[in-house]
Structure 1
Amino acid sequence: MNKFFKYIVFALLAVVTPTSCFQDNDDVFAGKSEINNFVYRGMNAFYLYKPEIDVLDDDRFATIGELEAFHAQYDSPEEFFETLVFDRARTDRFSVIFDDYVALENILSGNSLTTGMEFGTVAEAGSATDIYGYVRYVQPNTSAEREGVTRGMIFNTIDGIRMTRENVRTLLAQDVYTIGLADLNNGMTTSNGIEITLSKEVNQEDPILVTNVIDQGTQKVGYLMYTGFLSQFDEQLNDVFGDFRAQGVTHLVLDLRYNGGGSVNTAIILGSLISGNPVTDVYSTEEWNPDIQAQLSANSPQDLINFFKNQTNSGTTLNSLNLSKVHVITTGNTASASELVINSLEPYIDVVQVGDDTAGKFQASVTLYDSPNFRRNGANPAHRYAMQPLVLKSLNSVGNTDYFDGLFPDIVQEEDFENLGILGDENEPLLARCLEDIRLNGRASRFESSPRTYDEFIGSNELRPFGNGMWKEINL
């Protein structure tokens, strides 16, 4: 991967117009123009949808002066960056720019300022404006856990203010806030007078939230609630599968209902742990913008292919289950790397998707810094801007991609916010559907057990910067 990235940078130097020049002086602060030059240089080189943005044409600006005169009209690097994003409403919902790359790096490593309460918000029945929140799960060792917040709690006020579509982002952005609990009945809430004050603090989330093994006669069903593809937990993930093997697991339920994505490499490891495919089998392929695609196809085509793995990055042998079938729980909050696992396994094994349609994100990004080769080493000391633009889209081994509307379940079952159940408990509604299908060897009903009654608005993943991202890790 190191050779790959270096090759791409050097191959594109001839067509990338402005190169940022800076002094090695921490006391010199970059102006807007200098940062905008970096934004343009990175997007011109790597942006997946470069052909759709006329301003990114290689011959659009004859000189750096012309470029700087053009982007001077924008008030900030963020505003200029946004003009270079293609079809924000549907095609590219995920490219982002950060004014502090340390904050971005913390997000990518799972470190965030959080209360520990992971939640969704839902439209109140009969109201065009009011919404309420429901607790999805609570991160251990956080304010929410200490204050007794549990899955399934409903809240409809923050600091005594009724939650609406318009104010929820502002209210939840505070470092300290008080939620007002409520009772939920037929999609309508009634405040019950209980309040809980929560404080945000830096927390490293462990994505391995729940694991257990459920006995069903001769069947041993492993269950894994996995909340994010964080590469620093790959060894622990492998250990979970080692425990599954030791207990003789014959079936697996992979719960990705709240997993917004993460590392491509970790997604490959997880898929390999499930199926145990040989390392010669194609897990996924990549499609970059035409400039990069042409260079790689001609000179380094192997770098466009991701193969199954048999060990972690640290060299530990994978505890693969070698399964021919897996049940995967999904919702509209299942995105990017989670969808990559589903899409990449489907050509090889029976993937039974249970729940709701996924989010529909098949693109991945890389982190670009303002340095000659866009890497962290040598980054311009005069500012801390970095970008995380979409640079590639993933295809499975038979070419399936572009699932803008998500991946559709085989067994439809939406979450019931009035009866969420306990994650990992065999009576929890979505897990129960999986266990029924396993017990009946695929003959369970494929129809939804209850009609759609909820209109989910936004959740903690979407409110978190880059919460539903998928990224390719590149280290130099």
Structure 2
Amino acid sequence: MKKIQILVLTVCVSLSMITCSDDLDDTIRPASNLEISQFIYRGLNFWSLYKADVPDLANDRFESDAERDEFLSQFETPEDAFEALLSPNDRFSILRDDYIELENALSGIRRSTGMRFSLFNDPSGNGNVFGLVRFVINNSPAQDAGVQRGMIFTGIDGVQLTSDSDLSAIFGQDAFTINLADYDTTTEIFTLNGTDITLAQIELSINPVHTARTLTVDGEQIGYLHYTGFTNEFDEQLNNAFAQFQADGVTHLILDLRYNGGGSIETANDLSTMVTGQFDGQLFIKQTYNEDRNPDNEFDRLFNSNIGSGNGGASINSLNLNKVYVITTGNTASASELILSGLDPYIEVVQVGTTTSGKFEGSFLLYDSPDFRRTDNINPNHRYVMLPLVLRSVNANGLTDYFDGFTPDIQIAENFANLGQLGVQGEPLLDAVIDEILLGRRPTIDVETRETPSLFESDQNDILYQRMMNE
């Protein structure tokens, strides 16, 4: 979302008991559950990608508005109505009660400590849980406090984490202290090492261009980009990284999307052009919609030479490559998977890591207004907003519906006891790619190939976790 318009109520209605100095809470009538559920039904009936799977969304389901409202009145909350109207195939649609929070998230503003981590069961099976720091957001409280990738913690605020811990509540606190531990690979025992780090949650504006550097290995110039989210407010920084790759004479590129859950489709389109550049005007992906919406809304996204819509944006810095290496894990989703899907018909895409999430659907915000847009006609009585699945992406070869994700060409999983540092030789997944670039050599049979399932991801409660936005 390039610009966020904030709703401002500029007119106060003069009534005998109300003046322009009244608080908004006094002048705005809170919406009823039915009123919000009516908005939910109207939006899903119009836009839901999986409308055909939900009989209650059929256009002829109710003979009158009164009959529909009677149906909606059975739900105690708007959230209950929303869940009842989703298809079993819909894994990603969301409803939120405050569109301001969601708009902030779309612009890259998150409430976070800056520590990105995963939680796992203790290998001994004792019911305990440990945390592993995946990476640290630049210019964040976690970075300032000295948190580093690969750190292990077993407790929070002096209390051991277990499988019974309320993890969402613990990590939703305004501040908490992580209790660091060491891991003995022989005994498989965690031992507190006496180091504690206190972290505060703040609103962060997160630049997803986390690490961009050129590695010179055996005379080859290898560009490395650890990119954490397709946030179009930072497209300039992304384009600048590719300008540096151009200046460095990069001839091989590694896109590290292992922790990238997606974001803007337009930014994915632009990034694909930064990798290539020789396919201007050709199809990146086609966006298709439900049967009712498809005739008027089906849309071809094309490779183009400018940031954004292609009209008036800065010129894209392209590397004109015929091969790209993409690092993935199970946390790689949506717009990240578009890179794999959209580029595959045109160049060789070598995928390294573990299987991706399997998210090919896109969304956009639906507000309670006549046209579902953020206009002056938005319902002032509530701030509910929907982010439903409304479109599917189809690549130039017709590929879509990849529910099972993309399987890597070189399968290698992260090992929590040997993470290495992102973008630095010695990190196992990076080394596997460099070996493939220089030697055409795949990892040996001793390499870990199975990804350990996590109990909890630090960003799984993020509003935009694994979402793909039609912007």
TM-score by length of 1: 0.89
After superposition, the CA RMSD in angstroms is 1.8
Q: Which amino acid aligns with 2:373?
A: R
Secondary structure (helix, strand or coil) at the match of 1:400 reads coil
Q: Which amino acid aligns with 2:452?
A: Y
Question: Contact between 2:354 and 2:451, CA under 8 Å: does it hold in 1?
Answer: no
Structure 2 unpaired stretches of 5+: 1-25
Deviation of 1:193 after TM superposition, in Å, equals 2.7
1:258 aligns with 2:253: no
Q: Which amino acid aligns with 1:322?
A: N
Partner Cα distance (1:309, 1:40) in 2: 37
Deviation of 1:261 after TM superposition, in Å, equals 0.3
Q: Relative to structure 1, is the Cα distance of residues 123 and 277 closer, same or farther in structure 2, using a 3 angstrom cutoff? A: farther
Secondary structure (helix, strand or coil) at the match of 2:293 reads helix
Question: Contact between 1:357 and 1:407, CA under 8 Å: does it hold in 2?
Answer: yes
Larger deviation, residues 180-189 vs 137-146 = 180-189
Q: Which amino acid aligns with 2:304?
A: K
Secondary structure (helix, strand or coil) at the match of 1:462 reads coil
The corresponding residue for 1:170 is 169
The corresponding residue for 2:428 is 429
Question: Contact between 1:411 and 1:447, CA under 8 Å: does it hold in 2?
Answer: no
1:437-452 equivalence runs, <5 A: 437-440=436-439, 442-445=440-443, 449-450=447-448, 452=450
Q: Which amino acid aligns with 1:417?
A: F
The corresponding residue for 1:220 is 221
Question: Contact between 1:97 and 1:387, CA under 8 Å: does it hold in 2?
Answer: yes
The corresponding residue for 2:277 is 276
The corresponding residue for 2:95 is 97
Question: Contact between 1:51 and 1:57, CA under 8 Å: does it hold in 2?
Answer: yes
Give aligned pairs, total. Answer: 440
Deviation of 1:212 after TM superposition, in Å, equals 0.7
Secondary structure (helix, strand or coil) at the match of 1:136 reads strand
Q: Relative to structure 1, is the Cα distance of residues 73 and 161 closer, same or farther in structure 2, using a 3 angstrom cutoff? A: farther
1:50-129 equivalence runs, <5 A: 50-87=51-88, 91-127=89-125, 129=127
The corresponding residue for 2:413 is 414
The corresponding residue for 1:184 is 183
Q: Relative to structure 1, is the Cα distance of residues 154 and 101 closer, same or farther in structure 2, using a 3 angstrom cutoff? A: same
Partner Cα distance (1:270, 1:389) in 2: 25
Q: Relative to structure 1, is the Cα distance of residues 276 and 179 closer, same or farther in structure 2, using a 3 angstrom cutoff? A: same
Secondary structure (helix, strand or coil) at the match of 1:339 reads helix
Structure 1 unpaired stretches of 5+: 1-24
Partner Cα distance (2:282, 2:446) in 1: 35
Deviation of 1:248 after TM superposition, in Å, equals 0.6
Higher helix share: 1
Q: Which amino acid aligns with 1:466?
A: L
Q: Which amino acid aligns with 1:147?
A: A
Which of 154, 158, 172 lines up with 2:152 in the alignment?
A: 154
Question: Contact between 2:326 and 2:349, CA under 8 Å: does it hold in 1?
Answer: yes
The corresponding residue for 2:306 is 311
Partner Cα distance (2:366, 2:36) in 1: 12
Partner Cα distance (2:266, 2:43) in 1: 23
Secondary structure (helix, strand or coil) at the match of 1:424 reads coil
Q: Relative to structure 1, is the Cα distance of residues 230 and 453 closer, same or farther in structure 2, using a 3 angstrom cutoff? A: closer
Q: Relative to structure 1, is the Cα distance of residues 142 and 443 closer, same or farther in structure 2, using a 3 angstrom cutoff? A: closer
The corresponding residue for 1:3 is none
Deviation of 1:446 after TM superposition, in Å, equals 7.5
Larger deviation, residues 59-68 vs 33-42 = 59-68
The corresponding residue for 1:399 is 398
TM-score by length of 2: 0.90
Instruction: Please identify runs of 4+ aligned residues in structure 1 that moved more than 6 A.
Output: none
Q: Relative to structure 1, is the Cα distance of residues 445 and 192 closer, same or farther in structure 2, using a 3 angstrom cutoff? A: closer
Secondary structure (helix, strand or coil) at the match of 1:456 reads coil
For residues 129-186 of structure 1, the C-alpha deviation after alignment (integer angstroms, 9 at most, x for no partner) is 4321111111122221221111111111122232234422221111111111111234
Question: Contact between 1:94 and 1:466, CA under 8 Å: does it hold in 2?
Answer: no
1:252-401 equivalence runs, <5 A: 252-293=253-294, 295-296=295-296, 303-313=298-308, 314-377=312-375, 378-401=377-400
The corresponding residue for 1:22 is none
For residues 38-94 of structure 1, the C-alpha deviation after alignment (integer angstroms, 9 at most, x for no partner) is 00000000001101111101111222221221111111111110111111xxx3221
For residues 364-393 of structure 1, the C-alpha deviation after alignment (integer angstroms, 9 at most, x for no partner) is 111000000000012111111100000111
Question: Contact between 2:212 and 2:224, CA under 8 Å: does it hold in 1?
Answer: yes
For residues 262-305 of structure 1, the C-alpha deviation after alignment (integer angstroms, 9 at most, x for no partner) is 00000000011101132221111122111112x23xxx6xx421
Q: Which amino acid aligns with 2:343?
A: L
Q: Which amino acid aligns with 1:291?
A: D
Deviation of 1:216 after TM superposition, in Å, equals 2.1
Deviation of 1:26 after TM superposition, in Å, equals 5.4
Partner Cα distance (1:128, 1:52) in 2: 43
1:5-84 equivalence runs, <5 A: 27-84=28-85
Question: Contact between 1:412 and 1:446, CA under 8 Å: does it hold in 2?
Answer: no
Partner Cα distance (1:179, 1:443) in 2: 40
Q: Relative to structure 1, is the Cα distance of residues 104 and 214 closer, same or farther in structure 2, using a 3 angstrom cutoff? A: same
For residues 377-412 of structure 1, the C-alpha deviation after alignment (integer angstroms, 9 at most, x for no partner) is 121111111000001111111011222121111111
Deviation of 1:334 after TM superposition, in Å, equals 0.6
Deviation of 1:36 after TM superposition, in Å, equals 0.6
Q: Relative to structure 1, is the Cα distance of residues 125 and 76 closer, same or farther in structure 2, using a 3 angstrom cutoff? A: same
Question: Contact between 1:411 and 1:446, CA under 8 Å: does it hold in 2?
Answer: no
The share of aligned pairs that are identical, in percent, is: 44
Larger deviation, residues 453-462 vs 112-121 = 453-462
Q: Which amino acid aligns with 2:363?
A: S
